[in-house]
Structure 1
Amino acid sequence: MTAAQPPATPAPEPRAPIRLLLCDDHAVVRAGLRALLASADGMEVVGEAGSGEEALAVAARVRPDVVLMDLQLGDGMDGVTATRHLSSGGGDGPRVLVLTMFDTDADITRAVEAGATGYILKAERPEELFAAIHDAASGRTALSAPVAERVLAQLRSPRPSLSERERDILQQLASGLGNREIARVLFISEATVKSHLGRIYGKLGVDTRAGAVAVAKEQRLVP
């Protein structure tokens, strides 16, 4: 009399692929990313967007797990603003993984403050990008090695704490704009620009426009 065989263990259910939305204002870059991600197991590109506004609309329609977000998106809404909107839904929204060429302290800080789960440079190897996507989908922080080094450097030697508006003004200042032009670009009064500049000078320990720009570039506070 043969012993009863134990019941067979059911095979695990296959995991659903990670649903991805690509947001980059260059169609060639999106096409390259789509082709690259097609070679990775467990990932599916479900949408593309060429602007921040389009990313919000497409994300609402296709409900991705992870959005690969460029920061510089031409005219209109930039990647940081789009990230903030996508992340504002709490746990119901997608994870945002910044994929960019820029690694300034200002860009990293703005992206993290906006709610980005990770920050990856476009120079990374494909394997690093795939790993970062899996980390982001699981809610884990994903940082390129150079970005992680910059974050640690900031923690060891904190930079001046500038508000988002102050960073905007400092960036326009570094572009060579005067107070009147800055006011027009940012839709604020010239008096408000002067007030912000006074606070910026105090935080940076300078008393001239040239000094503020020099410190900002030295400490990589502006792109």
Structure 2
Amino acid sequence: MIKVVLADDERLVRSGFRLLLDTEDDITVVGEATTGSEAVALARAARPHVVLMDIRMPGMDGIEATRQIAATTGLCDVRVLILTTYDTDAYVFEGLEAGASGFLLKDAGPAELLHGIRVVAAGDALLAPRITRRLIGQFTARRSAGRAGADQLAVLTDREREVVALVGQGLRNDEIGAALYVSPATARTHVSHAMGKLGARDRAQLVVIAYRTGLVTP
């Protein structure tokens, strides 16, 4: 059963999400938060698989709440799926860098939302198709002066660098395997090793690193 916490300051939005999620046999809502602080407290108390996190909330916003959840010992298995709108695109990269596993637009359809929750709960990254990786690249490019570059990537083998670059381009394990002429299982192993060496929580973090270090350019 996938346990979900809903974090949004709009009651109608939370009610709509709960109504949808409660109809699913494999998903249950274990708490609702109206502020970032409440979301962090609920994550610590309920240990959900997914926190559906709005960005704009009173007091602590969703970005800082995500950062605190990701930094809390014992919550490494709690995934944050950030909800955004076109008006808050500038926060998408901030959210991923803070430790979010992906993002969706707030006007996503029911099927897209349910799929997103299941994907993130399984430990995969979710980049909404209507907000492209080019957007992440644009915000990363603005930080080019602070890129860690070769220093951060020095721990990787040449093959692992190739794999991280392909993850940054949005390729799945089977596509990475095809590109490098290895099996999907071998590709998955390389991804896992790269995540461990770089301290990445999931594939979303590898996408951020790939752009930030220049392995992938916008």
Smaller-chain TM-score range? 0.5 to 0.7
CA contact (8 A) 1:68 1:98 kept: yes
Mapped contact 1:37–1:43 kept (Cα < 8 A)? yes
Partner of 2:84: 100
Residue in 2 aligned with 1:127?
A: 111
Question: What CA distance in whole angstroms lies between the structure 2 residues aligned with 1:95 and 1:63?
Answer: 10
Partners of 2:53 and 2:139 in 1: CA distance: 28
Residues 40-61 of structure 1, C-alpha deviations (whole Å, 9 max, x = no match)? 2300000000001111112221
1:29 lines up with 2:47 in the alignment? no
Q: Percent identity?
A: 41
- Runs (5+) with no aligned partner, structure 1: 1-16, 164-223
What is the TM-score of this pair, normalised by structure 1?
0.59
Q: Is contact 1:103–1:121 with CA below 8 Å preserved after alignment? A: no
Q: Give the equivalent residue in structure 2 for 1:155.
A: 137
Q: Measure how far apart 1:92 and its partner are.
A: 3.3
Partners of 1:57 and 1:67 in 2: CA distance: 12
Instruction: Please give the alpha-carbon distance, in whole angstroms, between the structure 2 residues aligned to 1:50 and 1:157.
Output: 28
Decide whether the 8 Å contact of 2:102 with 2:125 is kept in 1: yes
Give unmatched runs, 5+ long, in structure 2: 146-218
Q: Mark the CA change 1:158 to 1:51 in structure 2 (over 3 Å): closer, same or farther.
A: closer
**Relative contact order: is structure 1 or structure 2 higher (C-alpha 8 Å, sep ≥ 6)?**
2
2:11 maps to a residue whose letter is A
1:83 corresponds to which residue?
A: 66
Paired residue for 2:56, among 72, 84, 89? 72
Inter-CA distance 51–104: structure 2 relative to 1 (3 Å threshold)? closer
Residues 118 and 141, structure 1, Cα contact 8 Å, conserved in 2: yes
- Residue 172 of structure 2 corresponds to which residue in structure 1? none
Determine the C-alpha separation between the residues in 2 that align with 1:99 and 1:42. 21
Cα offsets for 1:110-138 (capped at 9, x unmatched): 10110000101111111111111111111
- Alignment partners' CA distance in 2, 1:97 and 1:153: 17
| Matched position secondary structure for 1:92 | coil
Matches of 1:118 and 1:56, distance apart in 2: 18
Whichever of the two has the greater Rg, that structure is: 1
Report the residue type matching 1:65 in the other structure: H
Structure 1, residues 12-68: CA drift from partner, whole Å, max 9, x if none? xxxxx1000000001111111100111223000000000011111122211111000
> d(CA) in 2 for partners of 1:73 and 1:104?
12
Task: Give the aligned residue type for 1:71.
Answer: I
Counterpart of 2:163 in structure 1 is none
Aligned residues: CA RMSD: 2.3
Letter in 1 for 2:4: L
